[in-house]
Homo-oligomer: A and B are copies of this chain.
Amino acid sequence: MQKQNMTVNKDLQYERSRCTFDPIEITYFFDGSPEKVEQRRKQERYFLDDPQLKQNIPLKCRSHKEVYEESLRTACIVLSKVKELQLSGKAGVELYIHTFGARLGSALFQDGNPLSLHYAMFIPAIMGQGTSEQQEYWLTRAVTGDIIGTYAQVICIGLETTATYDPKTKEFILNSPTLTSYKWWPGGLGHTANHAIVVAQLYTQGECKGVHPFIIQLRDVNTHEPLKGIIIGEIGTKLGMNGTNNGFLGFRNFRIPRENMLMQNSKVLEDGTYIKSVNDKLTYGTMVFVRVMLLQDLLHYLMKAVTIAVRYSVVRRQGQINSEKSEVQIIDYVMQQYKLFPHIATCFAIKVTFTHVWNMYVIVQGQLHEDDFEKLPELHSLTCCLKAVISADTAAGVEQLRLSCGGHGYMNASNLPIIYGLATAVCTYEGENTVLLLQTARYLVKSWKQALNGQPLPESVNYLNEAAKGIKQHPWNNDLECFIEAYDAVASGTIRLATENIDRRIHNGVPSEEAWNQTSIELSDCAVAHCRAFIVKTIVKTIKQSTLGSDEFREVLLQLNELYIVYWILRNYGAFLQFSSMKKEDVQVLQSRLEYLLMKIRRNAVGIVDGFDIDDDILCSALGAYDGNVYERLFQEAMKSPLNNETVNISFKKYLKPFIKSNL
């Protein structure tokens, strides 16, 4: 989607003219400072203005093979430019995150990047799991791009790749005994990487020692042909991310030297003696890091989608409220506001929560390096439920925003289907959401039992202490304090009930793990309720402490936060009636409050999404461009379809004409 010299749509102009605050305040809020805004914009333009990175044929019009080739071309150009900037001292490592991430990266690549795992997983894994000699040897080669790597995790526990140590030759022999033991999914594995870190079941001296990482050459560095004993290919098309070149990998008696096992933690000596790692909690740190970073990706997906849908809803006119007046901007329908504005509020909630958890991570990471693991379980349990809840909210949000654009949201030219494809993937990768929620639930049940025993608890579960003492919520009075108390009451109430149900089942003779399984629907609700309470407390605390910005800007922030809080009570008000001091009569009060907030936010909606400051070339949407020339842009995008290069397609002669003739 290229910038054009079109005049701005009048309805959008009007919205901008009556915004009550300066949108740049929003931009500062999300980027952190005016300097950071400047730097981000400059970096974005450095890539977006490069004519080599412009796509004239939409990627979605191309074949799967062409998509891969085009994505690899883009990746090589982007990385060369990253290097250039880094060598000139104008950027650091964070530029990788920026060019691979959900904001700029997903615009440059459109549908995935075949080189991202090399930087996001391969290099970090060598740094985290290699000895200093291994790091020296492999990192030099990997950082220069001399070798291109990927990272092949385990998928199953039972049947998987084996690495059997042969002390005679001092080699590991890799095998994939069955199809289910093939690696399946790693990005770039299909045709791009020539090396991989493979997590395999280690066997030595006749014993299985569990999974360990090995670095393995897959392809000849010069010819790129797969080595003998390596079975490799790509896994086919997917809902999205078709440029990532996800691959499969099997081994037939493939030998690697002993030194290729990454031995920072556990080791295998020359004679085959296995030495166990002292501490494997460090790997938790990496998982936590990845999940925190995903929150930022999700934020950008949602910001893009909401920008598109809000602008389109201002430009699009359809139907009448009053039959004597002209057609209505669809944003004036309260149902449309209800579909749009809670997601604006969610963007702010994600941003604030991300910053808070990132700060926690930095502290915990520092403690880990001093062998202090005390805060890790709390942070781990928080990042599990946050990743699950925020990815589910974002995916559902993007989809509701897409549907709010009617038929036009179904077109790839809106970019909404593509954003959805990327966002929904996050629900599954880096820990499937249900699995993550149940991990958090395990922590919550444990914490609840500790609370019952009067033990002190970490801050994020401190509310369980109050609940365990039997302290009930104050009577309902519809202020923020009351809402926060209610969120806590719902969380502690669901946790209490689920714990009682597990215990009841155990008491009735059900084995404890099966009792857990039988209670898992409620347990998953516990984790969601806890997560929602955490987000609500975090946003309220942050706004209270913050002194940034003008009064007008702070008013908007307060409205959005209150919308988030009220919206999620009403979406789940059964639990609030069940566990908090909220009464039936309060439902209507909250409903009116919701409608009032939608009405207040209506005026500033365009200003707020403008403040997200997403460049048209990053938004890639005919519906959402800054100038609001929706129909011109839809038409221009349609004309890029190769089908429109000719008035008559070959299939007329080949199929349709003979078919018509046969009927005559």
A residues apposed to B, CB below 8 Å: 58, 60-66, 68-69, 72-73, 75-76, 79-80, 83, 144-146, 148, 155-158, 178-180, 182, 184-185, 190-192, 223-226, 232-240, 248, 317-323, 326-327, 332-335, 338-339, 399, 403, 406-407, 409-413, 417, 420, 424-425, 427-429, 432-435, 438, 497, 511, 513-514, 516-522, 524, 572-578, 584, 587-588, 591, 594-595, 631-632, 634-635, 637-644, 647-652, 654-660, 662-664
Identical chains bound together, number: 2
- Name the B residues within 8 Å of A587 (CB-CB): 574, 578
- 19 residue pairs from A and B, CB less than 8 Å apart: A62-B63, A69-B650, A69-B651, A75-B655, A76-B658, A79-B659, A145-B659, A146-B663, A158-B327, A192-B656, A224-B652, A236-B638, A239-B410, A239-B412, A321-B517, A323-B513, A403-B428, A521-B591, A521-B594
- Name the B residues within 8 Å of A412 (CB-CB): 236-239
In this complex, which of A411, A511, A654 has the most chain B Cβ atoms within 10 angstroms of its Cβ? A411
Residue from the list B75, B519, B638 in contact with A235, Cβ < 8 A: B638
Q: Is the CB of A428 within 8 A of B411?
A: no
The 5 nearest A-B residue pairs measured at CB: A574-B574, A573-B574, A239-B417, A145-B663, A76-B659
From known contacts A191-B648, A652-B224, infer whether A641 and B338 are also in contact, taking CB-CB under 8 Å.
no
- Name the B residues within 8 Å of A635 (CB-CB): 179, 182, 248
- Name the B residues within 8 Å of A434 (CB-CB): 335, 339
Q: Is the CB of B410 within 8 A of A322?
A: no
Residue from the list B240, B318, B413, B654 in contact with A157, Cβ < 8 A: B318
From known contacts A234-B643, A648-B224, infer whether A663 and B83 are also in contact, taking CB-CB under 8 Å.
yes
- Name the B residues within 8 Å of A72 (CB-CB): 651, 655-656
Q: Is the CB of A518 within 8 A of B334?
A: yes
Residue from the list B322, B326, B652 in contact with A191, Cβ < 8 A: B652
Whole-angstrom distance between the Cβ of A417 and the nearest chain B Cβ: 4
Q: Is the CB of A417 within 8 A of B191?
A: no
Report how far A64 CA is from B64 CA in the complex, Å: 10
Report how far A158 CA is from B322 CA in the complex, Å: 14
Chain A binding site: helix, strand, loop or mixed by DSSP?
helix
Q: In this complex, what residue of B is CB-closest to A180?
A: B631
From known contacts A334-B517, A641-B237, A656-B76, infer whether A179 and B321 are also in contact, taking CB-CB under 8 Å.
no
Q: Is the CB of B235 within 8 A of A649?
A: no
Residue from the list B318, B424, B435 in contact with A156, Cβ < 8 A: B318
Q: Is the CB of B157 within 8 A of A327?
A: yes
- Name the B residues within 8 Å of A639 (CB-CB): 233
From known contacts A649-B69, A656-B148, infer whether A61 and B595 are also in contact, taking CB-CB under 8 Å.
no
From known contacts A61-B237, A321-B513, A406-B432, infer whether A663 and B327 are also in contact, taking CB-CB under 8 Å.
no
Q: In this complex, what residue of B is CB-closest to A402?
A: B239
Q: Is the CB of B58 within 8 A of A236?
A: yes
Whole-angstrom distance between the Cβ of A70 and the nearest chain B Cβ: 9
Q: Is the CB of A521 within 8 A of B224?
A: no
Q: Is the CB of B224 within 8 A of A338?
A: no
- Name the B residues within 8 Å of A317 (CB-CB): 156, 158
- Name the B residues within 8 Å of A642 (CB-CB): 63-65
From known contacts A73-B655, A577-B574, A647-B226, infer whether A320 and B157 are also in contact, taking CB-CB under 8 Å.
yes
